[in-house]
Structure 1
Amino acid sequence: MAAPTSADRLGRLLNLVPYLLARPGIRLADAAADLGITERQLREDLELLWMCGLPGYGPGDLIDMAFDGDRVTITYDAGIDRPLRLTPDEALALVVALRMLAETPGMGQRDAIERALTKIESTAGELADAPVAVRSPGNDDRLATIRGAVQRRRALRITYYTATRDVLTERVVDPMRVVVASGRAYLEAWCRRAEGVRLFRVDRIDQLIELDSPAAPPPQAQPGQLSDGVFNPTPELPLITLRVSRGGRWITEYYPCEEIIAESAEHWLVSLRAADLDWARRLVLGLGPEVSVVAPAGLADAVRDQARSALAAYGADLG
């Protein structure tokens, strides 16, 4: 992770005063958590703010605050009472993201999205008219068919690409709803083949046919809880341990990890659950020299065997 810059701190300081003004008496620990910094960093920022204010730096011009135990209240803001405005790039990024959500079929709380988009566009000025078209390539017709099947309560026959096993499978499903999680559209349905509720990524449905038979999910088919994401690791899934160098540490932010141990300044030991070992093998191979397998031994052997086969195709030797 890159060291914070002076610009990072300046932006935080400029936002800190209006943040605290809106929350008089907030606990330092709660404020630090909201701002994504440590309590020590927050205290250092507050000490610096005490020296900030209008030109002249007289006692009546500087920012002032009162402490009550572990709580802080701004008593004088020196005119710094509004948060920073969005930069053009930030405003455009928000406009694009909100337009993407608004164009996603099956998205809930569409009214809230439209209201937020209207507010951002009204402050973005001419950027709101930027020629940016947001669409889900290749998914529109598929999503429309899926949404129709959900509304008509019809079963679907789908051909689905399962990324964890790198295979195409054909199955009949009973649609329950269309959901959006982590920026992707999913069909949640009872899978007759697996005899369970499954999430099918819409962009991985290769073919689908709406059947004449009605969708009939059994009583035990209940929608899943997706507030923590699509993948919910459970104890029965294989646990893998990897030694990760700096270039591969991003996986600790992208995947839920059970344990992270800093072995040294260069290497971390990372333990996480995998959907299966085929998925883990592809993850490790994709990270290349940034990672090595500590456990299980079967995963290390599978990675080594595939690496040898790949090198053999180029006349090289793994050693």
Structure 2
Amino acid sequence: MAKRPAAPRAQDKLIFLLSLVPYLIDRERVTVDEAARHFGLSPRQIREAVELLTVSGVPGDTRQYLAGDLFDIDWGSFEEDDEIVLTHRVALDDSPRFSAREASALIAGLQSLQRLPEFVDSDVIGGVMAKLARGASSAPGQLAVTESYSAHAVGIIRSALAAGHSVAFDYVDASGATEARLVDPLRLESQDQDWYLYGWCHLREATRRFRLDRMTVLRETDAEVVFREADVVVPTALFEPSDSDRNVTVLVRRSVLPLIDDYVVAVDSAPGGSAAREDSDAEVTATLRLAHHHGLKRLVAAHPGLITVLGPADARDAVADWAAAGLAQYRKTSGS
């Protein structure tokens, strides 16, 4: 014979009643049996608590409990379908609420956050979005934020890391050529909005770093990894120099230097003496070490108006041509 739940103590009953209202608000419609399972009580105890709730409230200006001063439920659903639906919430409806526009902005931000690899499949964020939608003064607009390829790729790589399998993908290298790679995944890391895979590349027979958004046809293989993170030295810096790298001279604001520190080889004195050297907004000449012009373009684009390429000439031309091509696209769109 099943053991009947024990009657709650007075203190436990108070805690339960204080928890019941937000529980019902969050779910909008819930059966008595579901609530009983959630709180570990009998259906009879839940019904008694709901009936007590309907004679509870906050007195109005007359200091008397009128109809609008009490919690209320959909009695038809409660008595006929054994469902609890709050139809009037005392005092809570008078609390400040987000407007539909404010709730939409917050939901859009949470959707963007949910698409980041580290938050993929986050039930917590989904729950917060649902609460924002329900708690707004009116229904927020319908929003959709597309999922990035990196978020999809992280799921595959994490699965391979957990299973000890290699991953295979086509990768666009520094020269713009596409090569097929077989890699033993070692570590996933993020830098700003970019995600990187550190792994043992079977093609190069060395540890390499790969940007996830430059991978295509990524898949987890059935092959067991040859190397794990404990077996090799994984680079700690985002940018690892090699013999094929090139030095580029730029004019950059001093305040930007910490943001590009991985690429800085040397910094010359700022023009204007010691006062300029102490000014975080002063411009300095710096030498950067980069693998290719593609990385230089991204660096300049990430800090618009703050980095000017001085040389060599082919690096300066590459950035100028890239900027001109982008401007031409805007003019083409505007003209059409």
TM (norm. structure 2) is: 0.44
- Structure having the higher helix fraction is 2
Larger Rg: 1 or 2? Answer: 2
